[in-house]
Amino acid sequence: MLVFVNTDAEADAYVEEELVALCQAAGMAPVGTLRQRVNRPSSATFVGKGKVEELFATVHDVGADAALFDCELNAVQQRNLAEKLECRVVDRTQLILDIFAQRAHSREGKLQVELAQLTYLLPKITAIYTKFERQKGGIGLRGPGETQLESDRRRIRDRISALKRELDEVRLSRGRQRAARRKKPFPFASIVGYTSAGKSTLMNALSGSEVAVDSRLFATLDPTTRRVELPNGYSVYFTDTVGFVRRLPTHLIAAFRATLEEVSESDFLVHVVDLSHPSWEVQQDAVMDTLAELDADAKPVLTVFNKCDKLRDPAIARKAVAAEPGSVAVSALTGDGLPAFMDAAVRMTLSFLTPVEAVIPYNQSRLVQECYDFGRVLHVEHREDGVHIRAELVADMVGRLKPYITQPLTDDRR
């Protein structure tokens, strides 16, 4: 049974469609819907007394196993509702955590989901316990003088600390991998976007990788990185990662730090928008909000309007591209528009390169090789005074070459 609260009529249709999709992603089938505008949530049951009675009747009429509230419930509200409705009561955060728990396969993913679940549970546990459970014995598990509640709380805290320690190691090793890749001259881009926008499909189309694609939400949890060669001989490392959703629970964002650092550490972002979705603008805004939470909203963004093969009117794509400078319209599925995407990616990577001219003395000739490794060499000439070189280089390499740079290149000579 789906319960919508606090939504304005405008957004109703979209909010409902999204919750149904989330529900299905969690393996549940919605059997009914109930709506209520709540200006001031009741501290006991969130919705008013009359609504609780109406809900009880409908839940038992249609035989629902659970009532799913599209909001955050605190522990007291959740317990009271479960008692009054005589069924499981789930809030939005719990639903999303459930989907993530089902999708987590890697060690990193599982650790992060468990951490999110436990940090979600900890503040709720006092209210979840009945008076009896708070006192009942847990012989052998408790320390002296501890109640069951205290000992359970302690065990959850211990587990949270252990998970955080393990995840710190995961982050360190991801950091080391990134540092190793950083030695390469190529920029890093993270493919971000709303869940199901087609990020993994785009990744596969670009790199020939075989990241699992699924019409269900949150198919991808673990990041995958692939090097993609661009038409100008340059390359970019693309990372396909977890999708976002409106009001992504903060527990998840905090717990998925190791994974999401791939996004905040990249040079630029490829934002995939499902242009065939009636509410693509709402989704685009939700992604930008999440990026702001990750401190990644200042990064350069290449917007990709995807699923153009599904558009009834091609003018929609032209309008969207015209309104967003530097954006492209594609179909990751059919491959339509991918050359334009490649050109846009080339323009983006060039913005990370500095054009320079240098004369490298022969006793420093290893720098010549490094120019090839850390950028694009446009022209080389061996003269008496040294190797004259014209190149576009990553910032780090420009620094190393500094003593020998004769002049920065102007744009028309690139």
Ligand X SMILES: Nc1nc2c(ncn2[C@@H]2O[C@H](COP(=O)(O)OP(=O)(O)OP(=O)(O)O)[C@@H](O)[C@H]2O)c(=O)[nH]1
Q: Using the minimum distance from each CB to ligand X, give the nearer residue, 337 or 375.
A: 337
Residues 231-260 that bind ligand X (CB under 6 A): 243
Contacts of residue 83, defined as CB under 8 A and 6 or more positions apart, other chains included, come to none
Both tokens of 214, joined, read 């699924």
Contact 220, 28 (CB under 8 A): no
Give the one residue of 61, 214, 281, 285 binding ligand X; rule: CB under 6 A: 214
Q: Is 319 exposed, middle or buried (0-12, 13-18, 19+ CB in 10 A)?
A: middle
Q: Using the minimum distance from each CB to ligand X, give the nearer residue, 163 or 317.
A: 317
**Minimum separation from the CB atom of position 276 to ligand X (A):** 7
Measured CA distances, 190 to 150, 187, 260 (Å): 43, 10, 10
Contact 251, 163 (CB under 8 A): no
Does 219 contact ligand X by CB under 6 A?
Answer: yes
**Minimum separation from the CB atom of position 103 to ligand X (A):** 9
State the Cα–Cα distance between residues 402 and 406, nearest whole angstrom. Answer: 9
Q: Using the minimum distance from each CB to ligand X, give the nearer residue, 187 or 198.
A: 198
> Going residue by residue from 190 to 219, which x/- string records binding to Mg ion, judged by CB under 5 A?
---------xx------------------x
Binding segment for ligand X (CB under 6 A), chosen from 40-48, 131-139, 198-206, 338-346, is 198-206
State the Cα–Cα distance between residues 197 and 290, nearest whole angstrom. Answer: 15
Does 338 contact ligand X by CB under 6 A?
Answer: no
> Binds 128, which of ligand X, Mg ion, none (CB < 5 to 8 A, cut-off by type)?
none
Contact 48, 97 (CB under 8 A): no
Give the one residue of 333, 338, 378, 380 binding ligand X; rule: CB under 6 A: 333
State the Cα–Cα distance between residues 346 and 392, nearest whole angstrom. Answer: 13
Both tokens of 242, joined, read 């977890």
Phi then psi dihedrals of residue 122, to 5 deg: -50, -55
User: Roughly how many angstroms between the first and final C-alpha of the chain, as a whole number?
Assistant: 62
**Minimum separation from the CB atom of position 268 to ligand X (A):** 18
Q: Cα 167 to chain center, whole Å?
A: 18
Strands (E), 212-352: 224-229, 235-240, 268-274, 301-306, 328-329
**Minimum separation from the CB atom of position 105 to Mg ion (A):** 13
**Minimum separation from the CB atom of position 4 to ligand X (A):** 23
Give the one residue of 2, 59, 217, 269 binding ligand X; rule: CB under 6 A: 217
> Binds 196, which of Mg ion, ligand X, none (CB < 5 to 8 A, cut-off by type)?
ligand X
Q: How many residues lie near ligand X (CB under 6 A)?
A: 23
**Minimum separation from the CB atom of position 221 to ligand X (A):** 8
**Minimum separation from the CB atom of position 363 to Mg ion (A):** 51
For the chain, give percent helix, strand, coil, nearest 5: 50, 20, 30
Residues 93-152 that bind Mg ion (CB under 5 A): none
Does 224 contact Mg ion by CB under 5 A?
Answer: no
| DSSP class per residue in 283-323 | HHHHHHHHHHHTT-TTS-EEEEEE-GGG-S-THHHHHHHHH
Does 200 contact ligand X by CB under 6 A?
Answer: yes
Does 320 contact ligand X by CB under 6 A?
Answer: no
3-state secondary structure labels for all residues of 71-124: CCCCHHHHHHHHHHHCCEEEEHHHHHHHHHHHHCCCHHHHHHHHHHHHHHHHHH
**Minimum separation from the CB atom of position 93 to ligand X (A):** 18
State the Cα–Cα distance between residues 184 and 396, nearest whole angstrom. Answer: 11
**Minimum separation from the CB atom of position 334 to Mg ion (A):** 18
Give the one residue of 51, 307, 376, 390 binding ligand X; rule: CB under 6 A: 307
Give the one residue of 45, 201, 224, 284 binding ligand X; rule: CB under 6 A: 201
Contact 393, 405 (CB under 8 A): no
Q: Using the minimum distance from each CB to Mg ion, give the nearer residue, 200 or 331.
A: 200
> Going residue by residue from 167 to 196, which x/- string records binding to ligand X, judged by CB under 6 A?
--------------------------x-xx
Give the one residue of 45, 58, 93, 220 binding Mg ion; rule: CB under 5 A: 220
Q: Which of 412, 404, 393 is nearest to 352 (CA)?
A: 393
What residue ranges bind Mg ion (CB under 5 A)? Answer: 199-200, 219-220
What residue ranges bind ligand X (CB under 6 A)? Answer: 193, 195-201, 213-215, 217-220, 243, 306-307, 309-310, 331-333
